[in-house]
Structure 1
Amino acid sequence: MTRQLLKKIEWQDVRSGSTYLYGSLLRIEEDGQAILDNERMAPGKPLANFLSRTNYQGNRFSPILPILEAGQTYDVVANLETIPENRYYIQIDFFNRQNETIQSKIFRVGEERFVCPEDTFSYQLTVRSAGCSRLTYRNVTLYHVTQEASEEISLPSASYQKENLPEELDFIRDLIHLEQ
């Protein structure tokens, strides 16, 4: 199996509805990592939300997530730290064209693999609290996973004698190697 980097999702800005700010202190450092502190954050609250589809005219921001192909395999790798340790989870919700949820996947700490469901039109990735008081967000990385072919496919070679060339191949007679 090989992995191809699709997108390194960094927390670059703060928008309404995308970040849990109630009682939180959020610092985005020069090196790109974001540190969110909140001693009274309830478990299950969405800390950061990233979208694959937005209404630019209404919200004035572009989608952060790349487009995924239905039926393809992907890896999500989280480069996050929390206090207490490993107190977060990642939720990916897949939507159809009517913006109805067709599937939700919840990943715990680290690296997970998933298959994009059929009929997926858009999706969102949400980092949620599982009882943490501090989140250090470096990035979440999405990879496309491809299966390598284990065997080469060999096609049988066809050769014809000049006298037994089928009529259907007369129009390409000059392109076919004929055995003499």
Structure 2
Amino acid sequence: MTTRTLLKRLEWTEMRKDGAYLYGSKIDFYDDYVVFDNERLASGKPIVSFVSRTNYQGNRFSPQLPLLEPGKSYELVADLETSPANRYYLELDFFNRQNEGISSQVLRVGQHQFTCPDDTFTYQITVRSAGCHRLQFRNLALYQEQEEVVEREQIASYQKEDLPEELDIIRGLIGLE
């Protein structure tokens, strides 16, 4: 049985350099969501990005993403709406210690699970247009999937020669004759 634990709820809370597609865009921030409008947004263009590593001195913002464990399974759930409907995809880019891209995964609408590749040091999540011109963004929720380990009670087992005298009466029932 698989359970999932919420690692982080990603919210779009501010404008920052390289964080959103600004050219010709109108971006309105409300209490619990953001509306992004751009009538001329081409397919494949990034709308908003979240990163797990930053240069605070140069950019003045902290990483938004939690660290992931290589080889572990995760689920990314998007709470957003587009116009036209379902015209977005999520792109996950993974990098090694030298900031070289080691893997890129595309999660289409309805796909949420991914596995963090080995040698991952940092990663980035990008919401990209797939033909939308309006996006209402509430949040992205990142969950870690864990296999539940069912612990079984330790059952005492005896060999024929180890059976205590008190259990001689049931020797035939447990098949030790």
Superposed pair shares fold, TM > 0.5: yes
Superposed structure 1 runs of 4+ greater than 3 Å apart: 153-158
The number of residue pairs the alignment matches comes to 158
- How far is 1:109 from its partner? 1.3
Q: 1:93 and 1:156 mapped to 2: Cα distance?
A: 50
Q: 2:155 and 2:111 mapped to 1: Cα distance?
A: 39
Normalised to the residue count of structure 1, the TM-score between the two structures is 0.83
The question of whether the paired residues in 2 share the 8 Å contact of 1:77 and 1:140 is answered with: yes
Q: Could you tell me which residue of structure 1 aligns to residue 66 of structure 2?
A: 66
- How far is 1:157 from its partner? 7.9
Q: Could you tell me which residue of structure 2 aligns to residue 8 of structure 1?
A: 9
SS of 2:109 mapped into structure 1 = coil
* Cα pair distance change 1:4/1:82, threshold 3 Å: same
Q: Could you tell me which residue of structure 1 aligns to residue 172 of structure 2?
A: none
- How far is 1:155 from its partner? 7.9
Q: 2:155 and 2:19 mapped to 1: Cα distance?
A: 53
In structure 1, list runs of 5 or more residues that go unmatched: 159-180
After superposition, residues 18-97 of structure 1 pair within 5 angstroms as: 18-31=19-32, 33-97=33-97
Q: 2:9 and 2:120 mapped to 1: Cα distance?
A: 21
AA matched with 1:85: A
- Further displaced range: 40-49 or 111-120: 111-120
Q: Share of identical aligned residues, percent?
A: 56
* Cα pair distance change 1:155/1:105, threshold 3 Å: farther
In structure 2, list runs of 5 or more residues that go unmatched: 159-177
The question of whether the paired residues in 2 share the 8 Å contact of 1:6 and 1:66 is answered with: yes
- How far is 1:16 from its partner? 1.2
